[in-house]
Amino acid sequence: MKLTPSLNRSLWVFHLNTGSCNVCEIEIVAAITPRYDPERFGIKLVGSPRHADVLLVTGPVPKKNKERVLRIFEQTPDPKVVICCGTCGESGGVYYDSYSLAGPIDDVIPVDVYIAGCPPRPEAILHGIWKAIEKLERLEKEVA
């Protein structure tokens, strides 16, 4: 992993729990503690998708949440990157084929980066966010 970010601004992340069991959230909280200190790279969580560069999404998407997930995706300004954090968001995981699921996250919104694990470790989450920085750099070069 590169240790010096080449983006010339900070990266703001909105965390969206679409229906996870909350253990992925515990690992996300661990990843933003001073032990890992992502703010040294300008990475921090924000409280609104309207302020975010990145959507960090956990859990599969239940049918009752599908419209909300779409709305939050549309509220996030472009260019943006979507990260799927955890096995449930990738495939449905332990909720696979449940009657109440609309599907994994990429059945509802496009996903750019996948972080494997149930739950992923904090290092894997930070690595996924780093991949999002690389994707944003590519998107910004295309726009420029």
Q: Which residues bind ligand SF4 (CB under 6 A)?
A: 20-21, 23-24, 58-59, 86-88, 93-94, 118-119
- Output 128 or 136, the one with its CB closest to ligand SF4: 128
Which residue, 5 or 127, is less far from ligand SF4 as judged by CB? 127
Supply the minimum distance, in Å, between the C-beta of residue 118 and ligand SF4. 3
Residue 49, helix vs strand vs coil: helix
Closest CB 65 distance from ligand SF4, rounded Å: 14
Place of tokens 């300004």: 77
Angle between helix axes 23-31 and 122-143 (nearest 10 degrees) is 70
Per the structure block, which two tokens stand in for 79? 């260019």
Q: Please enumerate in sequence order all residues whose Cβ is within 8 A of that of 23, keeping only pairs 6 or more positions apart, or say none.
A: 118, 119
Closer residue to ligand SF4 in complex, CB, 84/136? 84
Nearer to ligand SF4 by Cβ, of 79 and 93: the residue is 93
DSSP state of 43: E
- Residue 84 Cβ vs ligand SF4, minimum distance, rounded to whole Å: 10
Q: How far apart are CB 21 and ligand SF4 at their closest, in Å?
A: 3
